[in-house]
Every structure is written in structure tokens, then in C-alpha cells.
């Protein structure tokens, strides 16, 4: 059994990691680290764990764990690793943005691999350090990577995507308060969202000639979880040709699937799936992508990466059913 440590244990991503690991046949949670909750039962914070786990939060670490998940706020993973040491054999999966960009991927002698399994599966299997992709980045990259792989991104890409309230984390703010979010809809960080950097970087790995704008409009939805994104760009081929490109690209993907029907959030929430749908209009290709922001966009993908790193079945612990009704 893998011995697992979780740092930053009180947040949404940590809560989902704990839930997934409790049902993972090859892993065991050794500790959940949270300085603000040390001594409290994990189920006091993650109330969906009542009756499922007796573990308490701790403010001490076990440096000999097999795998460490960092569920810290952006910028805090580097601080934590500066102040804490782990075994040379401990594999690290970071869920922040600290190591996703090329300029940040080497830290204290550790080289982090961008953990998008649909693109970097072989690299993930061979590394000890993973930078888990951002939630929006996952949904948007999976929508356009097949085109980039064929050098078919022509001109600007236009994206409109909406995320649930859990994407903002557990800290309360004006725009996460129930009375503001309920029956409401708004955009934020138009054209400047922080995930654009990792999206451009990853696209250029496949199509280094791409230098057009990605016009990304992120929106806040009045629901708890999920990302629904519509992306369109110029495409001169037929719809059948586009479907062939996408089906070929994802033929070996464990969790990314093409649908001939319109997709919606209820198909993916509580799963590690990404569902994609294509629609052609004149010279534009519309790609719809849908994921659960806390699973395929965060903790589920982190477990998927762990499975690949340790040679387990990629789907271990992730065979989840959507809450369709």
C-alpha cells in the first residue's frame, strides 16, 4: 500500500483527494496536514466524511511517505518545500500553479512535469514530480490540443467558459457569498486569466508556430462545481474530418471522450471525465468541453497522475458515476 501525505488538508481539493483515496485499493492516507485544524477530526471540516474516516488533522509531517500531494494556495508550495524535507524517493504532486510554467519547473533540484495525461503520459510515468494542470487549463487544452497536434490552429481562438463556486476555494469573498452568487452570473479576469500562460505553453509544444490570441472569457456560474466551455476557431475541413482528428488523438485516453450528442455538466460532475462535442458552422469549428473542476480539473487528475507514476491501472479509484438526477 502506498503511504500518502496531504498538505493543506482543509480545502476543497484536499477533501476530494481524501474521498478518492479512501476508495483506492493501492493507497493509504498516512497524514493530512493542516496547521489551522491540527487535532481536529478530518470529518469536522470535510463533513461528507462523517462515518468514513477517523483520522485527525496534524501539524507534523512524515517525511518517508511514498507520495505527497500539495493542496496549497498559489505561491505556497515553494515556501512549504523550502521549509520541509522529504525522502528522495517521495513523489510529489503539486496542485498549485507554482511549477506549471517552463521557467518554474525546476525547483531545488526537482524537475516538475506538466501532468496532463492525454499529452504527457510517458513523461508522467517516468518522473517523481508533477505539476497538476489548472482546472480551466484542463478543460480548454483538451478542447484544442488535437488541432494543435495537426498544426491546424489558424488565427485567433475564442473561448467562453463558466465555472462553479468551488473554483474559488473555501475562503469567503463578496463573489462567493451565497446571496451574491445565487441567481447570478458574471465574468472575471477577461482575457487575462492566469491559466492562459500554461495553455499557450502547452499548445506551443505541439504547434510552435501558433502565435495568435486566445480570447478567453471566464465566468462565474451559480452552481457549486463543474466547468462548461465553448471554444471556436477557424477550421477549413469538414465536421467528419474534425471528428476523425479528435477520435484519433484521444483513442487511448482513459477519461476523455468524444460525444456525438450535445454535452452538459450533469454528465461529468462527480467524475474524472472530460466530454467533448464538435459542431461546424461555416468555416468555424465549435468545441464544447465539460469537466468537474474539482476532479478532472484538480484532485481526480492528481490521482490519475499518481496511478501512472506508480504503474497502477490509470482508472484505479476513479471509476465514478455522475449524479445525473
Mean pLDDT of successive 10-residue segments in the chain (325 residues)?
96 95 96 94 94 94 97 94 95 97 95 98 98 97 98 96 84 75 89 93 96 95 95 97 98 98 97 98 97 98 98 97 88
Given the DSSP bridges, would you call strands 284-291 and 274-281 parallel, antiparallel or unpaired?
antiparallel
* E strand residue ranges, the chain: 2-7, 27-33, 67-70, 91-94, 106-107, 110-111, 113-114, 129-131, 154-163, 186-187, 214-220, 227-234, 256-258, 274-281, 284-291
pLDDT of residue 224: 87
- Residue 252 has a pLDDT of 96
> Tell me, what's the pLDDT at 180?
79
CA–CA distance, 298 with 292 (Å, rounded to integer): 9
pLDDT at res. 172: 65
168 φ/ψ angles, rounded to the nearest 5 degrees? -90, 0
CB 251 within 8 A of CB 283: no
| Cell numbers linked to 184 | 447570478
CA-CA distance, 165 to 175, in Å (whole number)? Answer: 9
As to burial, measured by CB atoms within 10 angstroms (0-12 exposed, 13-18 middle, 19+ buried), residue 136 is: buried
Q: Is the whole-model pTM more than 0.85? A: yes
Q: Taking the chain, what is the end-to-end CA distance rounded to the nearest angstrom?
A: 35
Catalytic annotation, residues: 135
Which domains does the chain show, CATH number per domain?
A: 2-132+298-309 (3.40.50.720), 135-291 (3.30.360.10)
Spatial neighbors of 79 by CB under 8 A, at least 6 apart, are none
- Beta-sheet pairing, 214-220 with 186-187: antiparallel
pLDDT value at position 88?
94
CA–CA separation, 118 vs 319, rounded Å? 17
Amino acid at each position: 500500500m502506498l503511504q500518502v501525505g496531504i498538505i493543506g488538508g482543509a480545502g476543497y481539493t484536499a477533501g476530494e483527494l481524501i474521498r478518492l483515496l479512501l476508495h483506492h485499493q493501492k493507497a493509504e492516507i498516512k497524514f493530512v496536514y493542516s496547521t489551522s485544524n491540527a487535532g481536529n477530526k478530518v470529518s469536522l471540516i470535510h463533513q461528507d466524511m462523517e462515518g468514513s474516516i477517523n483520522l485527525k488533522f496534524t501539524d507534523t509531517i512524515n517525511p518517508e511517505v511514498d507520495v505527497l500531494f500539495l493542496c496549497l494556495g498559489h505561491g505556497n508550495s515553494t515556501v512549504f518545500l523550502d521549509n520541509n524535507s522529504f525522502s528522495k524517493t517521495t513523489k510529489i504532486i503539486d496542485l498549485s500553479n507554482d511549477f506549471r510554467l517552463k521557467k518554474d519547473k525546476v525547483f531545488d533540484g526537482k524537475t516538475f512535469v506538466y501532468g496532463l495525461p492525454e499529452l504527457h503520459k510517458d513523461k508522467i510515468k517516468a518522473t517523481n514530480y508533477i505539476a497538476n494542470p489548472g482546472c480551466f487549463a484542463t478543460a480548454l487544452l483538451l478542447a484544442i490540443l488535437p488541432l494543435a497536434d495537426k498544426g491546424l490552429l489558424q488565427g485567433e481562438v475564442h473561448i467562453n467558459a463558466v465555472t462553479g463556486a468551488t473554483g474559488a476555494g473555501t475562503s469567503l469573498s463578496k463573489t462567493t457569498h451565497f446571496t451574491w452568487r445565487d441567481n447570478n452570473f458574471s465574468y472575471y479576469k477577461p482575457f487575462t486569466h492566469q491559466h492562459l500562460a500554461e495553455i499557450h505553453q502547452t499548445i506551443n509544444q505541439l504547434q510552435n508556430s501558433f502565435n495568435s490570441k486566445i480570447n478567453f472569457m471566464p465566468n462565474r456560474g451559480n452552481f457549486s462545481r463543474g466547468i462548461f466551455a465553448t471554444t471556436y476557431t477557424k477550421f477549413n475541413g469538414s465536421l467528419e474530418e474534425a471528428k476523425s482528428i479528435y477520435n484519433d488523438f484521444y483513442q487511448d485516453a482513459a477519461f476523455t471522450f468524444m460525444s456525438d450528442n450535445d454535452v452538459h455538466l450533469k454528465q461529468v460532475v462527480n467524475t474524472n471525465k472530460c466530454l467533448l462535442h464538435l459542431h461546424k458552422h461555416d468555416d468555424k469549428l465549435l468545441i464544447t468541453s465539460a469537466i468537474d473542476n474539482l476532479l478532472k480539473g484538480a484532485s481526480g487528475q492528481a490521482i490519475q497522475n499518481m496511478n501512472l507514476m506508480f504503474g497502477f491501472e490509470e482508472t484505479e479509484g476513479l471509476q465514478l458515476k455522475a449524479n445525473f438526477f
